Structure 1
Amino acid sequence: MRYLSALLFSLVFWTNSFAQNDSIVRYDTSQIQPLEITQGDLQDYLDDEAFNYEVVQAEDNWWDGVKNWFYNLIRRFFEWIFGVDSAAGYLAIFLKILPYILLVIFLYLVVRFFIKVNTRSLIYNENNPNMVLLSEEERILRTEDIQQLIKDALEAKNYRLAVRYYYLFILKLLSDRELIAWQLQKTNDDYMSELSGSHFKNDFNRATLLYDYIWYGEFNIDQDGYSKIEHVFASLKNSIIGNA
C-alpha cells in the first residue's frame, strides 16, 4: 500500500511538471518583411466600377420639385393638426406615400370621366340619329338650308332638335349681317358680349338661355313647349331682319 501511494504521488507530480513546461509562451523572433503595395497594384481596383462606391447626387427635375413641394405642404398641414414639430413613425411613412395615392386617385377620376363621356356619347348617338354634332355646326351654317332642317325636325316631333336648328338660324342671320363674328371656338357668351350694345340684346340673351337649357341641359320639350320658345325666337328673328 505504501508503494502504491508513492507511485500515485510521483505520477501526479510528473504530470503537473509536464503541463507547466508545455504552457511556456514561445516568441517568434524571425524578421518580418512588410508587404509593399504600389500605385500600379491599386490602379486595377480604381478602374473597376465594381469597387466604385462614389454616390452621385442626381439633379431634381420639375416633377421632383412638384412632389417635394406637395409633400412639404402636406407635412406642414399634419404638423399643424397634431401639434408636432416633425412627423415620425407611421405618420412620416404615410406622408411620403400620400402624394402618390392622390396622384393615382386623380388619374383614375380623369380616366373614368373620359370613359363615361365617350360611352355616353356613343349611346346617345345610337338613340338619336337626328342629333347635330358640334363639329357639324359650321357645315350647317354655311351649306345647309336651316329652315328646311327646322321643318324636318318638327315633322319628326324632335322639338329639342328644332330648337337647336332655330338657334343656329339666328346665329346665321347675325353673322350674315356682320352683327357678330361667328367662329367655331366661340361660346354663346361671346356672342352675348358682342351684342351688348344692340337694341335686341335682351331678346338674344333670353333665346340663348332657353337654348342652353334645352340643348346642353338635354331637356326634352313637347309641342306646347316648343310653341312658347318659337315665339321668343321668331320675335328675335324679326328684330334682326328689321335691323338690316
Structure 2
Amino acid sequence: MLLFLFGCCYTISAAQKDTLTVKLDTLELVQKKIDQSELDVFRDNPDFNYEIVKSTAPDWWVSFKNWLSNLILQFFEWIFGVEKASGIFNVLLRILPYLLLAILVFILIKFFINVNARALIYNQKAESLVTLSEEEHIIKNEDIQMLIQEALEHKNYRLAIRYYYLLTLRLMNQKEIIVWELQKTNADYYREIEKIDLKKPFANITRLYEYIWYGDFPIDENKYLKAEANFLSLKNILQNG
C-alpha cells in the first residue's frame, strides 16, 4: 500500500515538472541613438550641470567664515532653540556673520585712516613749527637788512617783502609798541598798537605782506618798489618816533 502511494506521488511530481515551460523575451532590442544637438541641449541646461566649482578664496578665509558663521549660529540656537531659528529670523542669522564681518572691516579701515590723518596733521604742524622757529631766529638773531639785500640781488622780491615785514615786527617790539611772541598773529599785533598814526600804516604793510607772501602773488621789480615804499615809510616813523 505504501509503495503504491509513493509511486503515485512520484508520478504526479514528474508530471508537473514536465509541464513547466521557460518564458523567453522575444522582443527585439533597439538601441536609442542621441545626436549631438540633443546632447548640447542637456549641456546648456544648468539643471544638468553637476560639476563642483571650487572656491577661489583662500582656504583660511573660507575656514574663518565658516567658523564664525557656525559660532554665531550656535550661539543663537543656544539662546532661542533650533526650532525657533526659522523663517525671516533664520535668514537674518545667516547674514549676520557677514554683517559683523563688514562692520569689523569698516572699523579697521576707519582706524587706519585716522592714524594716517593724525600722522599727516602732525607732519603739517611740524612743518609749521619749523617755519615759525625760523621766523623767531630771524627776528632775534639775524641781520635782516642784509637778508633783504641778498634777496634783492637774487631778484627774489617775495622773500625781500617777507624780510621787510619781520624787520618791522622787530622794530615795533624794540620800541615796545608790541610784544612779539611766536604764537601771536598779525591781527594780534594790530590790536596791540595804541598809536593811531601807526595803525593804518601797519594795516597796509600787513595786507601787502599777506597778499604777496601767503597768497603766492607774482611780483616784479616795479611792484616790489611800490610795496617797499610802504615799508620804508613805516620804518622811518618807527625810527624817528
Q: TM-score, length-normalised on structure 2?
A: 0.50
Larger radius of gyration: 2
Q: TM-score, length-normalised on structure 1?
A: 0.49
> Of Structure 1 and Structure 2, which has the larger fraction of its residues in helix?
2
